[in-house]
Amino acid sequence: MAEKVRDYSKLARDILDAVGGEENVVSATRCATRLRLVLKNSNSAAKQEVNNLPGVITVVENGGQFQVVIGQHVGEVYEEFAKLVNVDTENEDYENKGSILNRVIATMSAVFAPFIYILAAAGILQGVLILLKMLFSNFENTSTFAVLDFMSWAPFTFLPIFIAITASKHFKTNTYIAVAATAALVSPEWTAMAESIGNGSSLNFLGLPLTETTYTSSVLPPLFLVWILSYLERFLNKSIHEVVRPIFVPFLSILIIVPLTLVIIGPITTLGANGIANGYNILADNVPWLAAAIIGAFWQVIVIFGVHWGITPLSLANYEQYGMDSFQAYQTIAVIAQVGAVVGVIIKAKSKETKRIGISAGTTGIFGITEPAIYGVTLRFKKPFIIGCISGAIGAITASFFNPYYFAYAGLPGPLTIVNGINADYPTSVWGILIGSVIAIVLPIILIQIFGFGEDTAKQADEDLAKGKDAVTTEDSKAEASAAQTSEDTIHAPLSGKLMSLETVPDEVFSSGAMGMGLAIEPNENKVYAPFDGKVVMIAPTKHAIGLQSDNGVEVLIHVGLDTVKLDGEPFTLRVKEGDSVKQGDVINEFDAEAIKSAGVQTITPIIVTNPANYTEITIDETEMTAHGNNLMTAIK
């Protein structure tokens, strides 16, 4: 029997020791590339220690999960880890486990992430309208402006309905009941009644007084409504006979939850949201430079820890109450500082690969998306991330002296949303944001040219993977030796569909390049084919991901869909097993695309070369569409 080079039990033990031992682990699961842990307590020291372990590519903390990215051999590490801990290693219901903070973070992420780009698009449209009003003085009086204006505000006006859809999936309750209940909150009739109460009328529901609280653009009231609805619906489903259940569960749910929200849930949660926003506003109004320094320096740290979704109610509450928000003005400067740090690395770096990753990551930063920049460049080299945070703080502090505000919500604050700071009543606002942004992008470029950008913290892990230290058998070593004699290795398309650059994939572990080089396909068929002659070296237990190694040694991961691990393998039908030899064009997996989409999961399929360090160059097809069997990538020695 071939002897394994990597000691999996030692790596599992090292990870467990680094995260605080068995008593700190709530649950442990795995997907195709990551060991997913839910910890009682987590800290940056543990993350750094795990990140530095040989064989670990990177560590991502998101949604209350401590995700250790290992690669195709995560299965072996998981098996050894499961032997060391006496915790639930099967239950995927993370939302009900861990600390309150982790559960709040997981909820905010699950609720806002699916529609944040809709809010971003609406915010950009509002910014365009601001510019058009400046350029054409009469444009605001046209019906064209009126149409575009209500279009831009529609997602915010009916935000509770968006929240109902995503929150109902997160809390596992009936989406249609949730939408019906929240639609009642934003109905024009209730808005008119609330206005009447505000003008002095005394209205009640069954003798209980109603308040003047309105719910358009609100966040916490619909979120708590759906959360409480999930318990109410489960109780009703257990209590009502199945014959009349389909009618009376929706009837009683709406009859109870809507008045309960109008009388109790809505006023209390609105007060809480406004209180949080007012707490920040007190600091920003009285010590603006301190508020600016905190946001400019630590916003990207908040993004890394995945708690940035928790800020959304604060900003939305400010827009709802005052029509403006300074938090997003400073947030924009922090984002631009990370883009500046990436530009600094691109200019300073000699490696073509570092420049390539930097260009793609910096491009996404222009649109306010910094995860690729953080995971792929700045945090990878450490020093640029720190320089970016310092520059963000200095830029934000400078801007604070100009009374900066955003006057339209920006779903993804960044360079493109600076126009949201334009307002005739606050003429210095946009100038402060512009000056702060210039400092934020120029300063890190200068500092990185002077002090450099540090050592690549992913280098050791990449070398381990390239040399086969993390679980390559002697048989694998023979394949690698054979590869040394081959100049090129062609990887054929395993699916038909639309090609996407890896950087545009909405999963930072793939888009950052941490897993390796490659691209993604949005499939238009339901079969996965072998991309070359070789063997199957890994199959995820949930069937959604397959790792293969070609006869010449190139290693490829085919990950069907994003976050499809949670589907527990149901939409997939495997045609191979681990250890099987395959020929290019063999069907290795089949999937039900409609079932995946109906579960709210994307079918975008990353195809990753996981041992790029073995090759001097990997060329990638840049056409728009492909068919299975077409040349997709070429690995060149």
Reported as a single tens digit per residue, the pLDDT across 498-540 is 898 888 888 877 887 777 888 999 998 899 999 999 999 888 8
Q: Output b/e per residue, 529-564; b: 16+ Cβ within 10 A.
A: bbbbebbbbbbbebbbbbbbbbebbbbbbbbbbbeb
Query: Which range among 30-34, 315-319, 371-375 has the greatest average pLDDT?
Result: 315-319
Question: Span 25-44, mean pLDDT?
Answer: 75
Q: Which helix (H) or strand (E) holds 295?
A: helix 288-304
Spatial contact of 478 and 573, defined as CB atoms under 8 Å apart: no
Instruction: With CA atoms as reference, report the closest residue to 169 among 88, 102, 118, 109.
Output: 109
Q: In whole angstroms, what separates CA 278 from the centre of its chain?
A: 28
What pLDDT is recorded for position 87? 55
What pLDDT is recorded for position 604? 93
Sign of CA dihedral 34, 35, 41, 43: negative
Cβ neighbours of residue 280 closer than 8 Å, sequence gap 6 or more: 291, 314, 327
Model-level pTM? 0.49
Cα gap 412→117, rounded to integer Å: 8
Cα gap 286→438, rounded to integer Å: 25
pLDDT at 38 over 70: yes
Question: Span 391-406, mean pLDDT?
Answer: 95
- Within 448-504, strands assigned E span 488-492, 497-501
**Residues β-bridged to residue 619:** 634
Of residues 66 and 432, more confidence is placed in: 432
Instruction: With CA atoms as reference, report the closest residue to 296 among 400, 213, 207, 383.
Output: 400
pLDDT at 53 over 90: no
Q: What is the pLDDT of residues 302-328, one digit of tens each?
A: 776 545 656 777 777 788 778 899 999
Cα gap 147→139, rounded to integer Å: 12
Q: How many beta carbons lie within 10 A of that of residue 115, not counting itself?
A: 16
How many angstroms separate the most distant Cα atoms in the chain? 86
Spatial contact of 440 and 333, defined as CB atoms under 8 Å apart: yes
Say which range, 27-31, 268-272, 342-346, 618-622, has the weakest mean pLDDT.
Answer: 27-31
Query: Which range among 5-9, 588-592, 599-603 has the greatest average pLDDT?
Result: 588-592
Q: What angle do CA 470, 476, 477 make, to 5 degrees?
A: 90
Q: In whole angstroms, what separates CA 100 from the centre of its chain?
A: 20
Q: What is the pLDDT of residues 579-593, one digit of tens each?
A: 899 999 999 999 999
Cα gap 161→188, rounded to integer Å: 14
Instruction: With CA atoms as reference, report the closest residue to 451 among 386, 496, 396, 495.
Output: 386
Tell me the catalytic residues: 31, 559
